[in-house]
Every structure is written in structure tokens, then in C-alpha cells.
Amino acid sequence: MAEPPESLSNGTNEMQSTTAQPVRVLLLDDEPTNLHLRAAILRQHGYESVPAATIEEATDLFNNIDIAVLDYHLGAGQFGTEVAALLRRRRPHVPIIILSATIDRYFGGVEDMHLLKGHSSVEDLLDALSSLEAKRRGAPVVVDARDFFYSRIAMAIGADVLVQIFDENGIWQYCNDSVAEYLGQPREWFIGRSVYEEMRPFMRDWSDVLQTVCLTRETYIDRTHRGLLAQPRPQEPQLTWSVLAFPITLHDNRSGAVLTARILDKPTRNSELLPFI
């Protein structure tokens, strides 16, 4: 029976040896407040935090860690990817998580996971650490926290409301399950597509509204009660709608717009009880 390569065997033993003691997590960040907060959170969940504020401090700690969590922007023209490359060469089987303000940057496959800084929850980081504890390095995995960020907005608005989030070019950033059901496509179909191109024959022309909201940061209230579609569906003529669009700052700090729509049952006309209807 063939033996595994020596480097792979050593990497496996490194991870196995941590099971009898707390997993040691290198935390690299040039902001002391961030370091203190993350270290406290990890200690509360059974991890041993190994903080570092500079690349030099981090490299000196390479032999005493099991997982590395590295901030991308370190100031003074330095980046966490420099540390990731050094760590990968010195100890190739130590998992690496990069924290960055944008998920659109490509880091060359050095990192194993990528969390969106500022919008990732504590649970996102803990889940990432947990999954890497028992996983040898393989194909890079991207953890996109945008859906978490936007889904919390949708949850606050309510499940009975159709919630869509666009950038100023009308590109879907998010939609909730209610939108997917109403427009007849799976949620993943919408992300990255243009509402102007994909839904022009069906939806009303929202281009001016969305661009105006993004650029002026003003809220638009639709008073026509016509709903989202250019033509109401057969079962909708007797329904009224509450539709509005309001500004939002997107995950990457661009201006965006949230388009919400809620179907309201039209009250039954009763001249005696409600003469003003």
C-alpha cells in the first residue's frame, strides 16, 4: 500500500495534534480594537487567540498556530496576502482566512476562505474556523457574506414583502424568496442580472426610479398602486399595492436601491360602515 507524501502526512498530523488542546488561531490586524474584539470572541468559543499587529509579529508566530485569520489591508502599503504567501510556503497545510472589505478582489488562490469584512457575522467566522479545523487544504472556498447582510435587511422588512436590492445600473444584488416566487425564477437566477434587460417586457420601467434613488439618496413612494408589473396578472386587478424604493449603501460602499412591494387586499366597499371608501 502506497504511503502518503511526507508533506501531506505532516500536515495531517499537525491538525490531529490540535484536537487535545484548543485550536490556536493567528489574528492579524493593524487595528487594536479589532484584534481585542476578535480575540475575546474566539476565547469565549474555546479557541486560543494568537494576536499580531504587524507582518513581522505574524511571521514569528507561524510555528505556534493551527489556523490564520488575516486582515487584507494592514496599512503602510502592506497586505495580509503577503503573510498568507509566506505561511503557505512555510506551513502549507495551515488553513488561511482572509478578511477584506470587498469580495470582488482575486487573491490568487493563496487563501482557503474569504470573509467580507464589516458584514460577516460572528457566526460566519466561527463556522469558517470550525469547518477548517478538520479539513486539509484543498480547493479555495469563498464564503460570501453578502447574502447574510442583505437577508437581514429583508427579514427586518418582513416575509410578506417583495424585497429586491439593485445597484445604480439595475443589477440585482439580492432578492428574497417572495420575489423569486412572484417572478417565477429561483433566487440565484437574479443575482448579477440586469432588471432592465431580463424583465423589460414584464416589469414596469423602474430604470429612472432606481437610478434617481441611487444618485439622489431620496426615497420614492409609488402612489399609483399598479404594482411591479406593467400589466397586472389576471387575479390582481382587485388588489392594491404598496410599493416604494429607498437608498442603501451596498456591501462594497456603492450606492444602491431597495425596491419593496407589498400586495394589499382591497377593502370590500360598504357605504353604511365606511362611507368614505
Express each pLDDT in 203-250 by its tens digit.
887 888 999 999 999 999 998 888 888 888 887 877 888 999 999 998
Please report the pLDDT score of residue 120 as a whole number: 56
Residue range 20-69, pLDDT digits in tens: 588 899 999 988 988 898 899 999 989 999 999 999 999 999 998 989 99
The region, left, alpha or beta by phi > 0 then psi within -120 to 50, assigned to residue 118 is left
Yes or no: say if 36 and 44 are a contact pair by the CB < 8 Å rule: no
pTM across the whole model: 0.50
Average pLDDT value for residue range 62-80: 85
Cβ within 8 Å of residue 163, ≥6 positions away:
153, 154, 157, 174, 175, 176, 178, 179, 258, 259, 260
Mean pLDDT of the chain: 78
* Secondary structure of residue 98 in the 3-state scheme: strand
Residue 55 corresponds to which cell in the numbers above?
Answer: 507582518
Please report the pLDDT score of residue 235 as a whole number: 78
Q: 85-89, 110-114, 135-139 — which is least confidently predicted?
A: 135-139
Please report the pLDDT score of residue 171 as a whole number: 92
